Amino acid sequence: MIRATHCELAVLIALSLTTVAIGQNATESPATAAAADVSPDLGRLGDGDGPHWDATADALFLQRSAPSHQQLLYDPGSGSEVFNASNLDFSTAAGPRLSLRRDDPTGLGVELTYFGIDGWKVNREVTAVGMPSGTANLILDDQIIVPVTDAQFTYQSRFYNAEANLRLSYCDWFRPLIGFRWVELNDRYQVTVPAAAGGSFTEAVRANNHLYGLQIGADARIFDQGRFRLEAIAKTGIFCDDENQQTDVWAPASPTASAGASCNHIAYLSEVGLMFSVAVTDHLRLRAGYQAIFLESVALAPMQLPATDLGGGTARVDMSGNLLYHGATAGLELTW
């Protein structure tokens, strides 16, 4: 439901930007419109002419890297690995990115950006056929091991970002920036052992990261000739990560075993991107690009298994996770 709302919002904003641009073009005289069609400066409104606004609506198509090595199933005879958390790799998921920017060539500019993706989900099942001994040991925490002949794994993840940046007027093609950034990363790992596998139960692990802190960066116009423009952006920051994990195991007619923990520590985020755009009017540009985001020292759900003691009801937060998000972007930019 949240994913559908995001996509509808992105479509509505993209249509609104297009409608506004068409309306602005309709107010121009035929002679003016014809001149704009052949002008080499098409799409350069506001480039050094004074303060102006830019609004963008993009669709993101990002891949998320799988978690680091964490054994989930192993052969009881040889001890060899049968299934690992790194096998739970995600496909590409989509979400909206919205940005509003005020630029002043003679002073400070401001930029507000939001994006979010909540569609990463993967399902895997390992049956006796895929187990060398016809059975395997399932790891539930740092001590409890359960023999199973069937295990159904589900892994989900969500990522949200909001930021406010001040853009410094350095020169026409280069803008340093400094700002505040908030990131929300939610991870959920679940394994279900069906009754046919020798006893039905489910284990769910949730890991949540709430990052907030300062970042610095810059964007630069690498190429800018008439209709066509190529821009690059880089940002990096240090963040306070308020994180927690909760692990629960439940079965029919059995009490729930639970353990959880929370902590605060330092995490790191870096982002780089390239954006190519082409002007279709003096106010509207079509955009396409590539973006990569790297997160270091965050809590991921599967990594909490060895950090949990369900029998004793105690746990800690494993914060050794590193993630890479990368993929294509496409959208519209409106300038006025």
Q: Position 143: which residue type?
A: Q
2-65+92-120+151-335 CATH? 2.40.128
pLDDT one-digit tens code per residue, 102-145? 988 788 999 999 999 999 999 999 999 999 999 999 999 999 99
Percentages (nearest 5) of helix, strand, coil residues in the chain: 15, 60, 25
Name the CA dihedral angle for 236, 237, 238, 239, rounded to a multiple of 10 degrees.
Answer: -120
Distance CA 153, CA 140 (A): 13
Concatenating the DSSP letter of every residue in 117-129 gives EEEEEEEEEEEGG
For the residues 296-321, what does the mean pLDDT come to? 96
Instruction: Please tell me which residue, 41 or 231, carries the higher pLDDT value.
Output: 231
For residue range 229-268, what is the model confidence (pLDDT) as tens digits? Answer: 999 999 999 999 999 999 999 988 788 899 999 999 999 9
* Cα gap 245→155, rounded to integer Å: 15
Measure Cα distances from 156 to 7, 35, 67, 189, 205 in Å: 19, 52, 12, 7, 11
pTM (predicted TM-score): 0.84
Give the pLDDT of residue 105. 78
Instruction: Quote the tokens at residue 324.
Output: 């890479």
Q: Residues 55-101: pLDDT tens digits? A: 999 999 999 999 888 999 999 999 999 999 999 999 999 999 999 99
Domain ranges (residues) in the chain: 2-65+92-120+151-335
- Asked if residue 18 has pLDDT above 70, the reply is no
Per-residue pLDDT at 5: 43
Give the DSSP H/E element, type plus range, for residue 45.
none
Confidence band, pLDDT 50/70/90 cuts, at residue 50: confident
Cα angle: 217, vertex 220, 224; to 5 degrees: 165
Tokens of 290: 């590539």
Pairing of strands 201-225, 150-167: unpaired
More confident call, 27 vs 174 = 174
